[in-house]
Amino acid sequence: MKCLLGLYPLKSGSISYDKVLVSAERDCDYSNISVMPHEFGRYCLTVAENIGFDDADSVHPENFSLENWFLGKEYGGQELSGGQWQRVALYRCLHKDAEFYVLDEPTAYLDPSHEAEAVAEILEQLKDKTVLIITHRIGICRLMDQVIVMDKNHKIAGTGSHEELSQTCPVYQKLYESQAEWYR
């Protein structure tokens, strides 16, 4: 993900977005990109400030089924679970009006019922945007228009829809089978 965003240099090849080369050596305009990293920030601020930072007045935590608590035990605030913090990070990412969204494992800390809710919210709010979701969860892949499968060597092993990859990509098939075992 960091190479994709131009934060780290590539060892070989190139990455472009909207016909513009992404490179760690040049200044990049991030104004049209919103990112939710896998290791997201947890700030001792109010919920609204965690989501909107300097635009906190435009954030209405009740719209996210959240109270506007002060967060973090360090200053006497409310401590959240990993899943609750992840929801705050997701809302922070969705709060920015961008053209391109990158979400790295956006549901990793969520329980299954909240995971389905979060994915539905992502798909609804970003239906007219370009969204890259990095995930190991086949359930999320099933909902995507296009899936790019990477192998252990960071090479593209296949591209297509869930249905296409289920028939043509051994790496995807193995991942699918390993997750399906949990439900048999």
Residues 6+ apart with CB under 8 A from 82: 109
Give 29's DSSP letter.
-
Distance CA 134, CA 105 (A): 5
Domain ranges for the chain: 138-184
Q: Please work out, in degrees rounded to the nearest 5, the angle formed at the alpha carbon of residue 37 by the alpha carbons of 66 and 127.
A: 70
Average pLDDT on 134-156 reads 92
Whose tokens are 């990477």? That residue is 150
Could you write out the three-class secondary structure of 68-130?
A: CCEECHHHCCECCCHHHHHHHHHHHHHHCCCCEEEEECCCCCCCHHHHHHHHHHHHHHCCCCE
What whole-number percentage of the chain has pLDDT above 70?
A: 87
What whole-number percentage of the chain has pLDDT above 90?
A: 42
The residue with greater pLDDT, 78 or 26, is: 78
Stated as kind and residue range, the H or E segment containing 165 is helix 162-168
pLDDT, the chain, mean: 84
In tens, the pLDDT along 51-82 reads 887 776 777 666 666 666 767 777 777 788 89
Which amino acid type is present at position 60? H
Distance CA 180, CA 22 (A): 37
In tens, the pLDDT along 87-141 reads 999 999 998 899 999 999 999 999 888 888 889 889 999 999 999 999 999 989 9
